[in-house]
Structure 1
Amino acid sequence: MATDDFVLDVSRIRAEARQKMEAGPVTGTYGLDQEKVISVLNDVVATEVVCWLRYTRHAISATGIDRAQVAAEFTEHAAEELEHGRRAAERISQLGGRPDFDPAGLARRAHTDYTAPADDDLQTMLKDNLVAERIVISTYQEIARWLGDHDPTTRRLIESILEEEEEHADDLLDLLAG
């Protein structure tokens, strides 16, 4: 008989589920410090809101011959960034936390910077957004690794956002090369 046979104590799990119903989806098998995960996710919310603000500002103020194409891409990315922030906020709520949308702290907690080039140059905006996407890709990869198997739901959320951020970086690189 193998020593790693899987045994599931359903009776114990049922009893624990009934005893701690107020904890919602967070069970005794949750493998991380819940407050730390909530804090990290609030930084993700801040990052996504700042990215939404930057993309929106760039879409509105972009000038130049390729303005229509680039502004459309910025607008699409902005909508996706806002949705990322909403999804992270939903997860915070599921974990029993409070999403932090306080404008006073968004820029401080965000992984990326809000940029608004003085001359509204498309190349500068594209580069600023590509740098921001690369920062987000690196930080979200680290978050996903940290979460590991301890919180697979949050890890999958971060990985799905990460996938779209990588697509954004690819789109921006194509526009810069175009």
Structure 2
Amino acid sequence: MTAIELTDVQTLRQRARQHVENGAVTEGYHADRERIIRLLNEALATELVCTLRYKRHYFMASGVKASIAAEEFLEHANQEAEHADRIAERIVQLGGEPDFNPDNLSKNSHAQYVAGATLKEMVLEDLVAERIAIDSYREIIQYIGDKDPTTRRIFEDILAQEEEHADDMSDLLQGL
């Protein structure tokens, strides 16, 4: 196993002054920035579509178990919106533009927007969407590897919460 050589301080200082207009993206950034921004924008679309679907389900939930489900729908909608904000912020840090264009959201989202007519259908569709996000984000994390630890960490944090969401939806589905 070879030791990793650290860059001397003078070189770090000199490199920091070059291409200063790139902000957080330094010479040490080794990922394909355009591809990472595209993946982030797809994740942004996914999170926004999920936010909208959960919001609809919150307002449309009816039936005996509706209040319990509605609480979960609202909590998840708010968390998905927080995910979208984190992703949009990272896109800007990498010099990209977050795509909030409504015309592009459903095209770029990995999860679909399926309204669901009954409470059971709503919960099922939310569970399917969470499972899509889980697999998608896991693949993105593997793709990123060690080339962009900050973006990877954001996806890891979001993935953990998406797994909790899937577990919540699975529990709800079993209770219906």
Q: TM-score band (shorter)? A: over 0.9
How many Å separate the matches in 2 of 1:39 and 1:60? Answer: 32
Match of 2:8 in 1: 9
Query: C-alpha deviations, 1:40-59, integer Å up to 9, x for none?
Result: 10001100000001000011
Deviations along 1:2-49, whole A, 9 cap, x unmatched?
852533322111101012211111011111111111111000110000
CA distance in 2, matches of 1:89, 1:50: 14
Aligned residues: 175
State the partner residue of 1:121: 118
Q: How is 1:21-32 mapped onto 2 (pairs within 5 angstroms)?
A: 21-32=20-31
1:161 partner amino acid:
I
Q: Structure 2 CA distance, aligned partners of 1:50 and 1:18?
A: 40
**TM-score between the two structures when normalised by the length of structure 2:** 0.96
Q: Counterparts of 1:25-104 in structure 2 under 5 Å? A: 25-104=24-103
The percent of aligned pairs where both chains have the same amino acid is 51
For 1:149 and 1:175, the matched residues in 2 are separated by: 37
Structure 2 Cα separation of the partners of residues 63 and 47 of structure 1? 25
**Unaligned stretches of 5+ residues in structure 2:** none
Aligned-CA RMSD value: 1.2
Alpha carbons of structure 1 residues 19 and 5: separation in structure 2 relative to 1, 3 Å: closer
Any stretches of 5+ residues in structure 1 without a counterpart? none
Q: 1:115 to 1:14 in 2, by over 3 A?
A: same
